Amino acid sequence: MGIRDRLSGNEAVAIAMKQINPDVMGAFPITPSTEIPQYFSQYVANGQVDTEFVAVESEHSAMSTCIGAEAAGGRAVTATSSCGLALMWEMLYVAASARLPVTLACVNRALTGPININNDHSDSMGARDAGWIQIYAETNQEAYDNFVQAMRIGEHKDVRLPVMVCQDGFITSHAIENIELIEDDQVKKFVGEYHPENYLLKKENPMAVGPYDTAAYYMEHKKQQAEAMKNAKGVILEIAKEFEALTGRHYGLFEEHMMEDAETAIVIIGSSAGTAKQAVNELRAQGKKVGLVKVRVFRPFPMQEIAQALSKVKAVAVMDKTESFSACGGPLFAETRSAAYDLKNRPAMINYVYGLGGRDVRVEDIEHVYAELDKIVKTGETGEVYRHLSVRE
């Protein structure tokens, strides 16, 4: 019945990997994800797992190693952050289009320019169109739980896509918090064995992976890949239901906090959602009808479901922990506003780019956002749509 512990997010993910005991890990160290392969290599050295740990010379090679291992029929994992993910870029698309369900622990960190080691979502958000499923965590517990669920999702026959399990660098990766672990045998039973239909080492059936695709076939492959991503939505919910039966912990595509009668709401991803929940609770205590939507699954994007969740509110602030330099808002904003287009009564919607490069997000900062939404509701004027939070003017 669960093991009560206190762990950092990185330790928690490394333990999930240990419990899963994958065939191959290809990894290269980069702050703040370094601890994951570091802990895991100890498990390898201690004989606690029989994983082939490949210490590669770059992240491009780490992802290539995972692709090779998956094509051969194995289970492959890796972990990275920031520029490490950027160096994997080319191979991210290869893994996704070759339909190889690699599992990647992404410990979100700002991309360089200017150089910075702290948290924001510019790394994984930049990779949002690479064809990977993306699941985000608010806490160490969620990072662990998401990782345990990830392989079942990616390896499902209707999906066959790689999965990126994201958590916020330092904020959850290096912070110790309470956690409930699942017993080793329960994790093994839940994740199960991987038996792909076809793989390179299936000797009775020689095959070629990743051949050149001419214009006559490329569109069909992309359409098929897009359909797999659509299928992922149902599979994610199916696996979450099984996970809930095992642990009692409920997961959906997103989480709603105090949304039943909310008049204003924010849409947010990751650890700051916890800080925002505290702001919601404090404002609720003052009688303010505020709510929150925490997006767990960004790819596939739960478009209709989010639209439904926002269908009764009057004003929404979408929080982006990344810049996309579109000159009109971040990626979560673009998706969320697009989702709301289909609503009969569309709420007013603004975008806040926040928390870049580790800029701390306090309860007061989130309360300020709700105050701005309140102003929009009262005056009927949306004002500036594309805003930046806690930036010195």
Partner 1 sequence: MKDIVEIRWHGRGGQGAKTASLLLADAAFNTGKYVQGFPEYGPERMGAPITAYNRISSERCTVHSNIYEPDYVVVVDATLLTAVDVTKGLKAEGAIIINTEKSPEEIRPLLKGYTGKVCTIDARKISEEALGKNFPNTPMLGAVVKVSGVVPEDQFLKDMEESFHHKFATKPQVIEGNMKALIRSMQEVQQA
Partner 2 sequence: MSYKKACEVNETITWHDITPGGDVYEGGTSKLVNTGDWRTMIPTFIADKCKHCMLCVPVCPDSAIPVKDGKRLDFDFMHCKGCGVCYKVCPFGAITFGKEEK
Interaction site with partner 2 (CB under 8 A)? 97-100, 160, 197-198, 205-211, 213, 216-217, 219-221, 223-224, 227
Smallest gap from residue 36 Cβ to partner 1 (A): 16
Contact set for partner 1, span 17-56 (CB under 8 A): 32
- Residue 205 or 278: the one with the smaller Cβ distance to partner 2 is 205
Smallest gap from residue 16 Cβ to partner 1 (A): 20
- Residue 272 or 322: the one with the smaller Cβ distance to partner 1 is 272
149 part of the interface to partner 1, by CB under 8 A: no
- Residue 115 or 371: the one with the smaller Cβ distance to partner 1 is 115
Binder of residue 117, out of partner 1, partner 2, none (CB less than 5 to 8 A by kind): partner 1
361 part of the interface to partner 1, by CB under 8 A: yes
d(CA 173, CA 36): 9
176 part of the interface to partner 1, by CB under 8 A: yes
d(CA 269, CA 123): 14
Tokens of 158: 């209707």
Among 363, 375, 385, 387, binds partner 1 (CB under 8 A): 363
Cα atoms in the Cβ-side hemisphere of radius 13 Å centred on 385: 11
Smallest gap from residue 211 Cβ to partner 2 (A): 5
Amino acid, res. 41: S
Tokens of 10: 């990185």
Smallest gap from residue 374 Cβ to partner 2 (A): 48
Of 149, 146, 153, whose CA–CA distance to 132 is shortest?
153
Of 311, 258, 255, whose CA–CA distance to 289 is shortest?
258
d(CA 130, CA 124): 10
Among 360, 378, 383, 391, binds partner 1 (CB under 8 A): 360
175 part of the interface to partner 1, by CB under 8 A: yes
Contact set for partner 1, span 280-339 (CB under 8 A): 281
Q: What kind and span of H or E run contains 294?
A: strand 290-295
Among 275, 322, 324, 336, binds partner 1 (CB under 8 A): 275
Smallest gap from residue 206 Cβ to partner 2 (A): 4
d(CA 108, CA 113): 15
Binder of residue 237, out of partner 2, partner 1, none (CB less than 5 to 8 A by kind): none
Of 377, 320, 383, whose CA–CA distance to 347 is shortest?
377
DSSP assignment, residue 2? -
The pairing of strands 264-268 and 290-295 is: parallel
Q: Scan for tokens 């739980």, then name that residue.
A: 145
Q: Under a CB-based contact definition with an 8 Å cutoff, are residues 209 and 197 in contact?
A: no
Phi and psi, residue 128, nearest 5°: -65, -25
Task: Write out the residues near partner 1 by the rule CB under 8 A.
Answer: 6, 32, 117-118, 138-139, 168, 170-172, 174-178, 271-272, 274-275, 277-278, 281, 358, 360-363
